[in-house]
Amino acid sequence: MYDTNSHATGRVSIVIGISGPSKYFCLSTPAPLVVLSPAQVMVRPTDPYEYLHYDMVPAHNTFKLGYENILARLDNPPFHDLTNFMGYCEAWAVSIAGHHDSEEEVVFPVLNTKLDFSREIEQHKVIHHHLDEILDIIHKAKDDHSEFDPAKLKSLMTSFKEPLYQHLDEEIEHITPDKMKVFDVQVMVKLDADLQKYVKAHGDPFLLVPYMRSHTPAELKDTWPQMQWVLRKLVIPYVLARRYSGYWKYSPYDMS
């Protein structure tokens, strides 16, 4: 049964570990995360009407965590490690873009048969305009470190916050299990399967998967997203995360 407490929100403190001695600090996020209920953290819901909401909440939180993390570092960016820091920023940006692609390709066409997700589609356009500008700075800085302008990136990130957070929160509210009840349960089952299939087939797994896992809190790691133990404990930390291993020192959580 759907637990309405899953919409509870609250400020969180993120403990961020940076490789190297004595460089741990706490970042208090100014924006609340939507959190899952304790029951949902322990076990994936069995009601197909809950699947979409259950998967979307932690996914959106990874984007907020990355946003807060990047913004906090732009006052004192790691110039000595710019390739990796820009790579981390790129992983955050392309993770959002890939997430939106999956929604536009798989989720919204189904939901739009009985609900209206035109607002979300318009919000995506605004967000992608911001992301393109941010990615342009990131790519230029990766190519030529002297081009990096943290003040400009911070300004873009700051103006990006409202459209990003508003969209992420509104979409979560729009896909609550009660609203999904207009669909046949088989539609929800197929949507879940199609979405998982799409996600597995698109994007760079060496970038997107380690980003997701290192922005998923420990208490949720065994439950979300659904995956085999061998993937969670071996393939992701020891294979996928290796290719861009320098990026993930900027992540808030451990890889596995």
Where do contacts with Fe ion occur on this chain (CB under 5 A)?
Answer: 171
Instruction: State which residue, 50 or 171, has the beta carbon closest to Fe ion.
Output: 171
Q: How far apart are CA 145 and CA 80, in angstroms?
A: 10
Distance between CA 12 and CA 28 in Å, rounded?
A: 6
User: Smallest distance, Å, CB 164 to Fe ion?
Assistant: 11
Shortest distance, CB of residue 174 to Fe ion, whole angstroms?
Answer: 10
Can you give 101-143 as a three-state secondary structure string?
Answer: HHHHHHHHHHHCCCCCCHHHHHHHHHHHHHHHHHHHHHHHHHH
Q: What is the DSSP string of 12-46?
A: -EEEE--SSTT--EEEE-SSPEE---HHHHHS--S
The minimum distance between CB 107 and Fe ion, in angstroms, equals 8
The structure tokens listed for 144 are: 């030529």
CB of residue 90 vs Fe ion: minimum separation in angstroms? 20
Query: Would you say 116 or 149 has its CB closer to Fe ion?
Result: 116
Query: Beta 13-16 vs 25-28: how paired, if at all?
Result: antiparallel
Query: In the complex with Fe ion, which residue's Cβ is closer, 81 or 171?
Result: 171
Q: By C-beta, is 90 or 103 nearer to Fe ion?
A: 103
Taking the least distance from each CB to Fe ion, the nearer of 141 and 164 is 164
Shortest Å, Cβ 134 to Fe ion: 18
Distance CA 222, CA 3 (A): 20
Are the C-beta atoms of 161 and 154 separated by less than 8 Å? no
